[in-house]
């Protein structure tokens, strides 16, 4: 089984579990508090993932050491690329 299939399988399992609780499809009649927590879960997980990504990017920006030489080299390459693309007609 490929990784994609594994992920899709796991996601659909979680999705079915979430649907069961949120829409009470099997008539378990959970206490209202647990249903209140369950229904925003997909959006909540997305927001948490977004926060984690943002924090990781921020942390790596804050701790990445400056490299003066590489920075100058990169700036030069950016200029080169811009002029090359301008010659070929692309406008940004």
Partner 1 sequence: MEHYKATGADHAVGLGLVGFSLLLFTYYTIWVIVLPFVDSDHVVHSYFLPREYSVILPGIAALILLLCVGTFIGIVTWKNRKSKKVN
How far apart are the C-alpha atoms of 72 and 32, rounded to whole Å?
60
How far apart are the C-alpha atoms of 24 and 40, rounded to whole Å?
15
Q: Does 91 bind partner 1 (CB under 8 A)?
A: yes
Q: Does 61 bind partner 1 (CB under 8 A)?
A: yes
Token couple for 75: 């700036």
> Residue 25 or 47: which CB sits closer to partner 1?
47
Q: How far is the CB of 7 from partner 1 (least distance, A)?
A: 21
At residue 90's C-alpha, the angle toward residues 85 and 92, to 5°, is 100
CB under 8 Å to 19, separation ≥6 — which residues? 25
- Print the binding letters for residues 40-59 with partner 1: x by CB under 8 A, - otherwise: x--xx-xxx--xx-xx-xxx
> Residue 9 or 44: which CB sits closer to partner 1?
44
Contacts to partner 1 by CB under 8 A: 33, 36-37, 40, 43-44, 46-48, 51-52, 54-55, 57-70, 88-92
């Amino acid at each position: 089984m490929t990784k994609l299939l594994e992920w899709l399988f796991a996601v659909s399992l979680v999705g079915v579990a979430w649907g069961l609780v949120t829409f009470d499809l099997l008539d378990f009649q959970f206490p209202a508090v647990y249903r209140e927590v369950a229904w925003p879960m997909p959006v909540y997980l997305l927001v948490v993932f977004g926060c984690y990504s943002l924090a990781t990017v921020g942390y790596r920006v804050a701790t990445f050491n400056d490299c003066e030489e590489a920075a100058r080299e990169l700036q030069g390459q950016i200029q080169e690329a811009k002029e090359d693309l301008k010659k070929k007609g692309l406008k940004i």
